[in-house]
Amino acid sequence: MAKKKTKFVCQDCGYESPKWMGKCPGCGAWNTFVEELAPSVSNRRLTFATGLQTEAAKPRPITDVETKQEVRITTDYQELNRVLGGGIVDGSLVLIGGDPGIGKSTLLLQVSAQLAQHNYQVLYISGEESPKQIRLRADRLDAASNNLYVYSETDLQRIVQYIEDMNPAFVVIDSIQTIYMPDVTSAPGSVSQVRECTAELMKIAKTKGIPIFIVGHVTKEGNIAGPRLLEHMVDTVLYFEGERHHTYRILRAVKNRFGSTNEMGIFEMKELGLEEVLNPSEIFLEERPVGVAGSTVVASMEGTRPVLVEVQALISPTSFGNPRRMATGVDHNRVSLIMAVLEKRAGLLLQNQDAYLKVAGGIKLDEPAVDLAVAVSIASSFRDKPTSPVDAVIGEVGLTGEIRRVSRIEQRVQEAAKLGFKRVIMPSKNLGGWNIPEGIEVVGVSNIGEALRHTLGGA
Protein backbone atom coordinates (compact mmCIF):
# COMPACT_ATOMS: atom_id res chain seq x y z
CA MET A 1 0.00 0.00 0.00
CA ALA A 2 1.40 3.36 -1.04
CA LYS A 3 2.32 5.74 1.73
CA LYS A 4 0.04 8.76 2.00
CA LYS A 5 1.82 12.03 1.40
CA THR A 6 1.22 14.89 3.81
CA LYS A 7 1.97 18.58 3.76
CA PHE A 8 1.88 21.39 6.28
CA VAL A 9 -0.30 24.41 5.51
CA CYS A 10 -0.24 27.81 7.24
CA GLN A 11 -3.74 28.59 8.47
CA ASP A 12 -3.22 32.33 8.08
CA CYS A 13 -1.88 32.72 4.54
CA GLY A 14 -2.05 29.24 2.94
CA TYR A 15 1.72 28.76 2.60
CA GLU A 16 2.56 25.07 2.04
CA SER A 17 5.64 23.27 3.31
CA PRO A 18 6.73 19.60 3.22
CA LYS A 19 7.76 19.83 6.89
CA TRP A 20 6.52 21.59 10.00
CA MET A 21 7.97 25.03 10.77
CA GLY A 22 7.45 27.22 13.79
CA LYS A 23 7.36 30.48 11.82
CA CYS A 24 5.64 30.85 8.45
CA PRO A 25 7.98 32.26 5.75
CA GLY A 26 4.97 33.69 3.92
CA CYS A 27 3.27 35.85 6.56
CA GLY A 28 5.60 35.62 9.55
CA ALA A 29 2.98 34.09 11.88
CA TRP A 30 4.06 31.66 14.56
CA ASN A 31 2.67 28.18 15.22
CA THR A 32 0.12 28.24 12.39
CA PHE A 33 1.16 25.12 10.40
CA VAL A 34 -1.30 22.20 10.37
CA GLU A 35 -0.62 18.82 8.79
CA GLU A 36 -2.94 17.82 5.94
CA LEU A 37 -3.07 15.01 3.40
CA ALA A 38 -1.68 16.07 0.03
CA PRO A 39 -4.14 15.18 -2.77
CA SER A 40 -2.80 13.04 -5.58
CA VAL A 41 -2.70 14.32 -9.13
CA SER A 42 -5.60 12.06 -10.16
CA ASN A 43 -7.81 13.27 -7.32
CA ARG A 44 -6.82 16.89 -7.38
CA ARG A 45 -9.90 19.03 -7.68
CA LEU A 46 -10.17 21.47 -10.56
CA THR A 47 -13.51 22.88 -9.50
CA PHE A 48 -12.61 26.53 -9.70
CA ALA A 49 -10.80 26.19 -13.02
CA THR A 50 -13.57 24.25 -14.74
CA GLY A 51 -16.55 25.87 -13.06
CA LEU A 52 -16.30 29.07 -15.09
CA GLN A 53 -16.26 27.39 -18.52
CA THR A 54 -19.86 28.23 -19.24
CA GLU A 55 -19.41 29.71 -22.72
CA ALA A 56 -17.29 29.07 -25.79
CA ALA A 57 -14.09 27.23 -24.90
CA LYS A 58 -11.89 28.79 -27.61
CA PRO A 59 -10.43 32.30 -27.62
CA ARG A 60 -12.24 34.95 -29.64
CA PRO A 61 -11.99 38.74 -30.13
CA ILE A 62 -13.44 40.73 -27.28
CA THR A 63 -15.53 42.68 -29.81
CA ASP A 64 -17.38 39.45 -30.66
CA VAL A 65 -18.39 38.82 -27.04
CA GLU A 66 -22.07 39.57 -26.56
CA THR A 67 -22.92 41.86 -23.66
CA LYS A 68 -26.16 42.52 -21.87
CA GLN A 69 -27.30 44.72 -19.04
CA GLU A 70 -26.59 43.23 -15.63
CA VAL A 71 -29.75 41.91 -14.00
CA ARG A 72 -29.88 43.20 -10.43
CA ILE A 73 -32.20 42.23 -7.59
CA THR A 74 -33.00 45.29 -5.50
CA THR A 75 -33.71 44.93 -1.80
CA ASP A 76 -35.78 47.18 0.43
CA TYR A 77 -32.53 48.50 1.90
CA GLN A 78 -31.35 51.45 -0.19
CA GLU A 79 -28.11 51.47 1.80
CA LEU A 80 -27.32 47.86 0.83
CA ASN A 81 -28.23 48.50 -2.80
CA ARG A 82 -25.84 51.46 -2.91
CA VAL A 83 -22.94 49.50 -1.42
CA LEU A 84 -23.50 46.64 -3.89
CA GLY A 85 -23.54 49.08 -6.81
CA GLY A 86 -27.31 49.19 -7.40
CA GLY A 87 -28.51 45.79 -6.19
CA ILE A 88 -27.62 42.10 -6.11
CA VAL A 89 -26.20 40.85 -9.41
CA ASP A 90 -27.32 37.43 -10.64
CA GLY A 91 -24.57 34.85 -10.29
CA SER A 92 -22.49 36.95 -7.90
CA LEU A 93 -20.63 35.57 -4.90
CA VAL A 94 -20.58 38.06 -2.02
CA LEU A 95 -18.48 37.68 1.14
CA ILE A 96 -19.52 39.64 4.24
CA GLY A 97 -17.33 39.78 7.34
CA GLY A 98 -17.47 41.49 10.71
CA ASP A 99 -16.90 41.08 14.42
CA PRO A 100 -18.99 38.56 16.39
CA GLY A 101 -22.38 39.98 17.33
CA ILE A 102 -22.10 42.94 14.96
CA GLY A 103 -25.24 41.91 13.02
CA LYS A 104 -24.11 39.95 9.95
CA SER A 105 -26.66 37.16 10.37
CA THR A 106 -29.35 39.66 11.32
CA LEU A 107 -28.77 41.70 8.17
CA LEU A 108 -28.80 38.66 5.87
CA LEU A 109 -31.90 37.18 7.52
CA GLN A 110 -33.77 40.48 7.10
CA VAL A 111 -32.64 40.76 3.47
CA SER A 112 -33.68 37.14 2.85
CA ALA A 113 -37.13 37.86 4.30
CA GLN A 114 -37.49 40.95 2.11
CA LEU A 115 -36.66 38.99 -1.03
CA ALA A 116 -38.98 36.17 0.04
CA GLN A 117 -41.82 38.66 0.43
CA HIS A 118 -41.20 39.71 -3.18
CA ASN A 119 -41.82 36.09 -4.28
CA TYR A 120 -38.16 35.11 -4.55
CA GLN A 121 -37.33 31.63 -3.27
CA VAL A 122 -34.54 32.03 -0.70
CA LEU A 123 -32.45 29.26 0.88
CA TYR A 124 -30.80 30.18 4.20
CA ILE A 125 -28.16 27.62 5.19
CA SER A 126 -26.65 27.80 8.67
CA GLY A 127 -23.81 25.72 10.03
CA GLU A 128 -24.00 27.41 13.42
CA GLU A 129 -27.72 27.48 14.29
CA SER A 130 -30.55 24.99 14.21
CA PRO A 131 -33.78 25.75 12.28
CA LYS A 132 -35.55 26.39 15.60
CA GLN A 133 -33.00 29.02 16.55
CA ILE A 134 -33.33 30.69 13.16
CA ARG A 135 -37.13 30.68 13.52
CA LEU A 136 -36.90 32.34 16.95
CA ARG A 137 -34.69 35.06 15.51
CA ALA A 138 -36.98 35.45 12.50
CA ASP A 139 -40.01 35.90 14.78
CA ARG A 140 -38.17 38.60 16.72
CA LEU A 141 -37.23 40.37 13.49
CA ASP A 142 -40.65 39.77 11.87
CA ALA A 143 -38.80 38.01 9.05
CA ALA A 144 -40.86 34.83 8.59
CA SER A 145 -42.10 33.96 5.09
CA ASN A 146 -43.27 30.87 3.20
CA ASN A 147 -40.65 31.51 0.50
CA LEU A 148 -37.79 31.51 3.01
CA TYR A 149 -36.34 28.02 3.44
CA VAL A 150 -33.91 27.27 6.28
CA TYR A 151 -31.49 24.37 6.37
CA SER A 152 -28.93 23.47 9.02
CA GLU A 153 -26.04 21.59 7.41
CA THR A 154 -22.24 21.68 7.25
CA ASP A 155 -21.61 19.04 4.54
CA LEU A 156 -21.14 20.94 1.28
CA GLN A 157 -22.09 17.96 -0.88
CA ARG A 158 -25.54 17.84 0.71
CA ILE A 159 -25.84 21.61 0.43
CA VAL A 160 -25.04 21.47 -3.29
CA GLN A 161 -27.62 18.71 -3.77
CA TYR A 162 -30.36 20.76 -2.10
CA ILE A 163 -29.45 23.84 -4.16
CA GLU A 164 -29.70 21.79 -7.37
CA ASP A 165 -33.04 20.31 -6.30
CA MET A 166 -34.61 23.62 -5.19
CA ASN A 167 -32.92 25.99 -7.66
CA PRO A 168 -33.51 29.00 -5.37
CA ALA A 169 -33.14 32.61 -6.47
CA PHE A 170 -30.93 33.54 -3.51
CA VAL A 171 -28.65 31.55 -1.16
CA VAL A 172 -27.06 32.49 2.18
CA ILE A 173 -24.20 30.46 3.71
CA ASP A 174 -23.64 31.21 7.43
CA SER A 175 -20.71 30.72 7.77
CA ILE A 176 -18.02 29.49 5.37
CA GLN A 177 -15.74 28.49 8.28
CA THR A 178 -18.26 25.83 9.41
CA ILE A 179 -18.75 24.22 5.98
CA TYR A 180 -16.58 21.28 4.95
CA MET A 181 -16.07 18.93 2.02
CA PRO A 182 -15.71 15.22 2.87
CA ASP A 183 -13.04 14.80 0.16
CA VAL A 184 -10.71 17.20 1.98
CA THR A 185 -9.08 15.66 5.04
CA SER A 186 -8.46 18.86 7.02
CA ALA A 187 -10.85 20.26 9.62
CA PRO A 188 -13.61 22.81 8.81
CA GLY A 189 -12.27 26.34 8.74
CA SER A 190 -8.81 25.34 7.56
CA VAL A 191 -7.19 26.87 4.50
CA SER A 192 -7.89 23.85 2.30
CA GLN A 193 -11.54 23.55 3.36
CA VAL A 194 -12.27 27.26 2.91
CA ARG A 195 -10.58 27.30 -0.50
CA GLU A 196 -12.35 24.21 -1.83
CA CYS A 197 -15.77 25.13 -0.45
CA THR A 198 -15.58 28.64 -1.86
CA ALA A 199 -14.52 27.28 -5.26
CA GLU A 200 -17.53 24.93 -5.31
CA LEU A 201 -19.90 27.74 -4.36
CA MET A 202 -18.35 29.93 -7.07
CA LYS A 203 -19.07 27.19 -9.61
CA ILE A 204 -22.72 27.02 -8.54
CA ALA A 205 -23.14 30.80 -8.63
CA LYS A 206 -21.65 31.18 -12.10
CA THR A 207 -23.20 28.17 -13.80
CA LYS A 208 -26.71 28.55 -12.37
CA GLY A 209 -26.82 32.36 -12.06
CA ILE A 210 -27.71 32.20 -8.34
CA PRO A 211 -26.41 35.04 -6.12
CA ILE A 212 -24.78 33.57 -3.01
CA PHE A 213 -23.93 35.46 0.18
CA ILE A 214 -21.19 33.99 2.38
CA VAL A 215 -20.59 35.00 5.99
CA GLY A 216 -16.92 35.00 7.00
CA HIS A 217 -15.44 35.11 10.49
CA VAL A 218 -12.81 37.73 11.23
CA THR A 219 -9.56 37.59 13.16
CA LYS A 220 -8.70 39.76 16.16
CA GLU A 221 -7.02 42.21 13.75
CA GLY A 222 -10.35 42.66 11.95
CA ASN A 223 -9.46 40.78 8.75
CA ILE A 224 -11.52 37.91 7.36
CA ALA A 225 -10.16 34.65 8.73
CA GLY A 226 -8.42 32.32 6.34
CA PRO A 227 -6.16 32.98 3.36
CA ARG A 228 -6.37 36.18 1.29
CA LEU A 229 -7.22 33.85 -1.60
CA LEU A 230 -10.77 33.77 -0.26
CA GLU A 231 -11.20 37.49 -0.92
CA HIS A 232 -9.65 37.15 -4.37
CA MET A 233 -12.08 34.41 -5.43
CA VAL A 234 -15.35 36.15 -4.58
CA ASP A 235 -16.92 39.00 -6.57
CA THR A 236 -17.64 41.34 -3.67
CA VAL A 237 -16.18 41.71 -0.17
CA LEU A 238 -18.22 43.63 2.41
CA TYR A 239 -17.15 44.55 5.94
CA PHE A 240 -19.74 45.21 8.64
CA GLU A 241 -18.12 47.61 11.10
CA GLY A 242 -19.10 49.31 14.32
CA GLU A 243 -18.84 49.02 18.06
CA ARG A 244 -20.90 46.27 19.66
CA HIS A 245 -22.01 48.65 22.42
CA HIS A 246 -23.13 51.36 19.98
CA THR A 247 -26.21 51.20 17.81
CA TYR A 248 -24.75 52.34 14.48
CA ARG A 249 -23.26 49.92 11.98
CA ILE A 250 -21.29 50.78 8.83
CA LEU A 251 -21.30 48.49 5.78
CA ARG A 252 -18.30 49.02 3.48
CA ALA A 253 -17.29 47.43 0.20
CA VAL A 254 -13.55 46.77 -0.03
CA LYS A 255 -13.91 44.86 -3.31
CA ASN A 256 -16.73 45.00 -5.84
CA ARG A 257 -16.59 43.77 -9.42
CA PHE A 258 -19.99 45.33 -10.13
CA GLY A 259 -19.69 48.76 -8.53
CA SER A 260 -17.59 51.25 -6.59
CA THR A 261 -15.47 50.17 -3.62
CA ASN A 262 -15.83 53.53 -1.86
CA GLU A 263 -19.52 53.29 -1.02
CA MET A 264 -20.73 53.14 2.57
CA GLY A 265 -24.09 52.13 4.04
CA ILE A 266 -25.15 53.02 7.57
CA PHE A 267 -27.58 51.00 9.68
CA GLU A 268 -28.89 51.36 13.21
CA MET A 269 -29.39 48.30 15.41
CA LYS A 270 -32.75 48.43 17.16
CA GLU A 271 -34.88 46.00 19.11
CA LEU A 272 -36.60 44.72 15.96
CA GLY A 273 -33.42 44.43 13.91
CA LEU A 274 -31.42 46.70 11.64
CA GLU A 275 -32.88 49.89 10.18
CA GLU A 276 -31.11 51.91 7.51
CA VAL A 277 -30.02 55.50 8.15
CA LEU A 278 -30.84 57.56 5.07
CA ASN A 279 -29.32 60.85 6.29
CA PRO A 280 -26.14 59.98 8.21
CA SER A 281 -24.93 63.58 8.43
CA GLU A 282 -27.68 64.43 10.89
CA ILE A 283 -26.76 61.41 13.01
CA PHE A 284 -23.07 62.30 13.17
CA LEU A 285 -23.77 65.94 14.09
CA GLU A 286 -26.77 65.60 16.42
CA GLU A 287 -24.63 65.66 19.60
CA ARG A 288 -22.07 68.21 18.44
CA PRO A 289 -21.22 70.71 21.22
CA VAL A 290 -21.56 74.42 20.41
CA GLY A 291 -18.96 76.96 21.45
CA VAL A 292 -16.32 74.38 22.44
CA ALA A 293 -12.74 74.64 21.21
CA GLY A 294 -11.33 71.77 19.14
CA SER A 295 -14.48 70.89 17.17
CA THR A 296 -14.67 71.27 13.37
CA VAL A 297 -17.11 69.93 10.77
CA VAL A 298 -15.83 68.52 7.48
CA ALA A 299 -17.74 67.39 4.39
CA SER A 300 -16.23 64.03 3.45
CA MET A 301 -17.06 61.88 0.44
CA GLU A 302 -17.89 58.21 0.97
CA GLY A 303 -18.12 56.92 -2.56
CA THR A 304 -20.73 59.08 -4.29
CA ARG A 305 -22.30 60.26 -1.03
CA PRO A 306 -21.22 63.40 0.88
CA VAL A 307 -21.22 62.96 4.67
CA LEU A 308 -20.73 65.72 7.23
CA VAL A 309 -18.83 64.56 10.30
CA GLU A 310 -17.27 66.23 13.31
CA VAL A 311 -13.51 66.16 13.88
CA GLN A 312 -12.52 66.70 17.52
CA ALA A 313 -9.05 67.57 18.86
CA LEU A 314 -7.66 67.89 22.36
CA ILE A 315 -4.25 69.54 22.77
CA SER A 316 -2.70 69.58 26.25
CA PRO A 317 0.83 70.05 27.65
CA THR A 318 2.69 66.77 27.87
CA SER A 319 4.04 65.25 31.05
CA PHE A 320 6.22 62.74 29.19
CA GLY A 321 9.57 63.01 27.48
CA ASN A 322 7.95 62.31 24.11
CA PRO A 323 4.52 63.88 23.44
CA ARG A 324 1.71 61.43 22.76
CA ARG A 325 -0.11 61.37 19.42
CA MET A 326 -3.34 59.39 19.39
CA ALA A 327 -5.95 59.35 16.62
CA THR A 328 -9.25 57.52 16.16
CA GLY A 329 -10.93 57.63 12.76
CA VAL A 330 -8.00 59.33 10.97
CA ASP A 331 -4.51 58.10 10.15
CA HIS A 332 -2.02 58.60 12.96
CA ASN A 333 0.79 59.50 10.54
CA ARG A 334 -1.40 62.10 8.82
CA VAL A 335 -2.00 63.81 12.17
CA SER A 336 1.74 64.00 12.87
CA LEU A 337 2.34 65.44 9.41
CA ILE A 338 -0.33 68.13 9.83
CA MET A 339 1.02 69.09 13.26
CA ALA A 340 4.48 69.51 11.74
CA VAL A 341 3.02 71.81 9.06
CA LEU A 342 1.19 73.87 11.71
CA GLU A 343 4.39 74.27 13.72
CA LYS A 344 6.54 75.20 10.73
CA ARG A 345 4.11 77.26 8.62
CA ALA A 346 1.67 78.67 11.19
CA GLY A 347 3.99 79.22 14.15
CA LEU A 348 2.15 76.97 16.62
CA LEU A 349 4.51 75.49 19.22
CA LEU A 350 3.16 71.92 19.35
CA GLN A 351 6.35 69.95 20.01
CA ASN A 352 5.67 69.82 23.77
CA GLN A 353 1.93 69.12 23.47
CA ASP A 354 -0.01 65.85 23.63
CA ALA A 355 -2.52 65.54 20.77
CA TYR A 356 -5.67 63.43 20.79
CA LEU A 357 -7.82 63.32 17.63
CA LYS A 358 -11.18 61.66 17.14
CA VAL A 359 -13.85 61.49 14.43
CA ALA A 360 -17.21 61.49 16.20
CA GLY A 361 -19.62 58.66 15.39
CA GLY A 362 -17.04 55.92 14.83
CA ILE A 363 -16.56 56.63 11.12
CA LYS A 364 -13.13 56.35 9.49
CA LEU A 365 -11.90 59.12 7.19
CA ASP A 366 -9.04 58.37 4.82
CA GLU A 367 -9.33 61.00 2.09
CA PRO A 368 -7.02 64.06 1.83
CA ALA A 369 -9.95 66.52 1.99
CA VAL A 370 -10.13 66.17 5.78
CA ASP A 371 -6.62 67.61 6.31
CA LEU A 372 -7.76 71.20 6.79
CA ALA A 373 -10.46 70.22 9.29
CA VAL A 374 -7.85 68.32 11.34
CA ALA A 375 -5.52 71.33 11.23
CA VAL A 376 -8.26 73.76 12.30
CA SER A 377 -9.36 71.46 15.14
CA ILE A 378 -5.79 71.21 16.44
CA ALA A 379 -5.26 74.99 16.25
CA SER A 380 -8.65 75.64 17.86
CA SER A 381 -7.87 73.42 20.83
CA PHE A 382 -4.32 74.76 21.17
CA ARG A 383 -5.48 78.41 21.19
CA ASP A 384 -8.66 77.51 23.11
CA LYS A 385 -10.74 79.41 20.53
CA PRO A 386 -13.92 77.72 19.25
CA THR A 387 -14.85 77.71 15.59
CA SER A 388 -18.19 78.99 14.35
CA PRO A 389 -20.95 76.35 14.65
CA VAL A 390 -22.19 77.24 11.14
CA ASP A 391 -18.80 76.76 9.43
CA ALA A 392 -17.69 73.68 7.50
CA VAL A 393 -14.06 73.17 6.45
CA ILE A 394 -12.79 71.31 3.37
CA GLY A 395 -9.30 71.05 1.93
CA GLU A 396 -6.04 69.15 1.56
CA VAL A 397 -2.96 70.52 3.32
CA GLY A 398 0.42 70.36 1.59
CA LEU A 399 3.81 70.24 3.27
CA THR A 400 4.51 73.87 2.34
CA GLY A 401 1.25 74.95 3.99
CA GLU A 402 -0.74 75.36 0.77
CA ILE A 403 -4.40 74.31 0.57
CA ARG A 404 -4.91 72.06 -2.45
CA ARG A 405 -8.08 71.42 -4.39
CA VAL A 406 -10.40 68.49 -3.64
CA SER A 407 -12.87 66.54 -5.76
CA ARG A 408 -16.68 66.77 -5.85
CA ILE A 409 -16.76 70.16 -4.17
CA GLU A 410 -20.28 70.95 -5.38
CA GLN A 411 -21.82 67.89 -3.70
CA ARG A 412 -19.97 68.66 -0.46
CA VAL A 413 -21.23 72.25 -0.35
CA GLN A 414 -24.78 71.21 -1.19
CA GLU A 415 -24.79 68.76 1.73
CA ALA A 416 -23.52 71.50 4.07
CA ALA A 417 -26.23 73.89 2.87
CA LYS A 418 -28.91 71.24 3.32
CA LEU A 419 -27.97 70.85 6.98
CA GLY A 420 -28.06 74.59 7.71
CA PHE A 421 -24.40 75.60 7.50
CA LYS A 422 -23.84 79.21 6.44
CA ARG A 423 -20.18 79.23 5.39
CA VAL A 424 -17.70 76.78 3.86
CA ILE A 425 -13.93 77.30 4.06
CA MET A 426 -12.48 75.63 0.98
CA PRO A 427 -9.47 75.72 -1.40
CA SER A 428 -9.37 78.79 -3.60
CA LYS A 429 -8.60 76.55 -6.60
CA ASN A 430 -12.08 75.02 -6.24
CA LEU A 431 -13.88 78.35 -6.69
CA GLY A 432 -15.72 78.79 -9.97
CA GLY A 433 -17.14 76.42 -12.51
CA TRP A 434 -20.12 75.29 -10.42
CA ASN A 435 -23.29 76.71 -8.90
CA ILE A 436 -23.18 77.83 -5.27
CA PRO A 437 -26.37 76.91 -3.36
CA GLU A 438 -28.49 79.73 -1.99
CA GLY A 439 -28.01 80.78 1.61
CA ILE A 440 -24.38 79.70 1.96
CA GLU A 441 -21.10 81.58 1.60
CA VAL A 442 -17.94 80.00 0.23
CA VAL A 443 -14.55 81.35 1.25
CA GLY A 444 -11.48 80.36 -0.74
CA VAL A 445 -8.14 80.03 1.06
CA SER A 446 -4.73 79.32 -0.45
CA ASN A 447 -2.62 78.54 2.63
CA ILE A 448 -2.95 77.39 6.22
CA GLY A 449 -2.53 80.89 7.60
CA GLU A 450 -5.54 82.23 5.69
CA ALA A 451 -7.64 79.29 6.83
CA LEU A 452 -6.83 79.91 10.49
CA ARG A 453 -7.58 83.64 10.15
CA HIS A 454 -11.02 82.93 8.68
CA THR A 455 -11.96 80.17 11.15
CA LEU A 456 -10.32 81.37 14.37
CA GLY A 457 -10.06 85.11 13.84
CA GLY A 458 -6.31 85.33 13.48
CA ALA A 459 -5.25 82.44 15.69
Segments making up each domain of the chain, as ranges: 6-37, 72-278, 283-456
Look up residue 279 and give its DSSP letter: -
Q: Does 100 appear as a known binding residue?
A: yes
Question: For position 451, what pLDDT does the model report?
Answer: 96
DSSP codes joined into one string, 61-117? -GGGS---PPPEE--S-HHHHHHTTSSEETT-EEEEEE-TTSSHHHHHHHHHHHHHH
- Phi then psi dihedrals of residue 356, to 5 deg: -125, 120
Asked if 294 and 335 count as a contact pair (C-beta separation under 8 A), the reply is no
Asked if 346 and 319 count as a contact pair (C-beta separation under 8 A), the reply is no
Which of 169, 176, 124, 135 lies closest to 154 in space, CA to CA? 176
**The two domains 72-278 and 283-456 share their CATH topology (first three levels equal):** no
Asked if 237 and 254 count as a contact pair (C-beta separation under 8 A), the reply is yes
Task: Per-residue pLDDT tens, the chain, 459 aa: give them.
Answer: 556 678 888 877 778 888 999 999 988 889 888 887 766 544 444 444 444 444 446 888 988 888 777 778 999 999 999 999 999 999 999 999 988 888 999 999 999 999 999 999 999 999 999 999 999 999 999 998 999 999 999 999 999 999 999 999 999 999 898 999 988 877 888 888 888 899 999 999 999 999 999 998 877 666 666 656 788 889 999 998 876 566 788 898 989 999 888 788 889 888 889 999 888 888 888 888 888 999 999 999 987 889 999 999 999 999 888 899 999 999 999 999 999 999 999 999 999 999 999 998 778 888 999 999 999 999 999 999 999 999 999 999 999 999 999 999 999 999 999 999 999 999 999 998 899 999 999 999 999 999 999 999 854
Tell whether domain 283-456 is in CATH 3.30.1330.200: no
Q: Does 101 appear as a known binding residue?
A: yes
- Phi then psi dihedrals of residue 90, to 5 deg: -60, 135
Residue 197 three-state SS: helix
Query: Beta strand 248-256 with 236-241: parallel, antiparallel or unpaired?
Result: antiparallel
Asked if 372 and 395 count as a contact pair (C-beta separation under 8 A), the reply is yes
Element (H, E) at 268: strand 264-270
Q: Does 102 appear as a known binding residue?
A: yes
Tell me which amino acid residue 79 is: E
Please list, in sequence order, all residues whose beta carbon lies within 8 angstroms of the beta carbon of residue 160, skipping any fewer than 6 positions away.
200, 204
* pTM exceeds 0.95, yes or no: no
Asked if 234 and 214 count as a contact pair (C-beta separation under 8 A), the reply is yes
Please list, in sequence order, all residues whose beta carbon lies within 8 angstroms of the beta carbon of residue 279, skipping any fewer than 6 positions away.
none
- Phi then psi dihedrals of residue 5, to 5 deg: -85, 140
Q: Does 14 appear as a known binding residue?
A: no
Q: Does 131 appear as a known binding residue?
A: no
Asked if 53 and 68 count as a contact pair (C-beta separation under 8 A), the reply is no
Q: Does 86 appear as a known binding residue?
A: no
Q: Does 105 appear as a known binding residue?
A: yes
Q: Does 281 appear as a known binding residue?
A: no
Looking at domain 72-278, its CATH class is alpha beta
Please list, in sequence order, all residues whose beta carbon lies within 8 angstroms of the beta carbon of residue 307, skipping any fewer than 6 positions away.
264, 280, 281, 284, 299, 300, 301, 363, 415
